[in-house]
Chains A and B, each alone.
Chain A
Amino acid sequence: AQSVTQLGSHVSVSEGALVLLRCNYSSSVPPYLFWYVQYPNQGLQLLLKYTTGATLVKGINGFEAEFKKSETSFHLTKPSAHMSDAAEYFCAVSGWNTGKLIFGQGTTLQVKP
Chain B
Amino acid sequence: GAVVSQHPSRVICKSGTSVKIECRSLDFQATTMFWYRQFPKQSLMLMATSNEGSKATYEQGVEKDKFLINHASLTLSTLTVTSAHPEDSSFYICSARVRSGLVPNEQFFGPGTRLTVL
Contacts and interface: CB of A to CB of B under 8 A. Distances in A.
Given A103-B44, A104-B43, A44 B103 contact: no
Interface residues of B, number: 24
A42 B106 CA distance: 18
A113 interface: no
**Is the interface on chain A under 10, 10 to 19, 20 to 34, or 35 or more residues?**
20 to 34
Provide the main secondary structure of the chain A interface.
Answer: strand
Mostly helix, strand, loop or mixed at chain B's interface? Answer: strand
A110 B108 CA distance: 25
Interface of B: 4, 6, 32, 34, 42-44, 46, 49, 91, 93, 95, 97, 103-112, 114
12 contacts: A42-B111, A43-B93, A44-B44, A44-B93, A44-B109, A51-B103, A51-B104, A96-B104, A98-B105, A99-B97, A101-B95, A106-B42
Interface of A: 32, 34, 36, 41-46, 49, 51, 90, 94-96, 98-101, 103-106
